Amino acid sequence: MGKHNASGREKALIASGRGRRKGNSAKTKWMWIGLGAAAIAGVLILLFRPSDRGLTEITAAEAYDQYQRGAFFLDVRRQEEWSGGHIPGSVVIPLDELAGRLGELPEGRDIVVVCVSGVRSAEGARILAAAGFSPVSSLSGGLKAWDAAGYPLEQGVP
């Protein structure tokens, strides 16, 4: 018994795209299911990704400009790190305590979040933005960039 040979009519239907070949419909069905699942996953990622609205990273020069205009500087390092050197007038709330101490922050005022290198400050700024604080900035490069630019630092507790 050999292969089934398609009739002239079946060949014409297949050639015109109106006929079906066995196996293709299952592959097409799974392709559409896969594409649909990918589209749904993409929408969910967009809907549930962390929001960075009102959050920006700023350079040391931009932070200094904010400093001179009276922005609130929040240092998210540990207390002992802050005591070793910090921006004058900055307030320290360690990153791991920040979510529980949001009531200590001013509303309606620019907030610049700082740390030593900019990693913790970016995370702290995200926490503030998610809690509705705006505008919130993170000092890119942290206190290392601030100090390298020659901006003021003080040590100890004022």
Active site residue 115: yes
φ/ψ region of 70 (left if φ > 0, alpha if ψ in -120 to 50, else beta) reads left
Among 60, 111, 112, 115, the active-site one is 115
Name residue 97's amino acid. E
| pTM > 0.85 | no
Element (H, E) at 96: helix 95-98
Gap between the Cα atoms of 149 and 4, Å rounded: 81
Tens place of pLDDT for every residue, the chain, 158 residues?
A: 545 565 666 666 566 655 555 556 878 888 888 777 777 866 666 555 544 455 689 999 999 999 999 999 999 999 999 999 999 999 999 999 999 999 999 998 999 999 999 999 999 999 999 999 999 999 999 999 999 999 999 997 65
Query: Quick one: CATH architecture of 55-148?
Result: 3-Layer(aba) Sandwich (3.40)
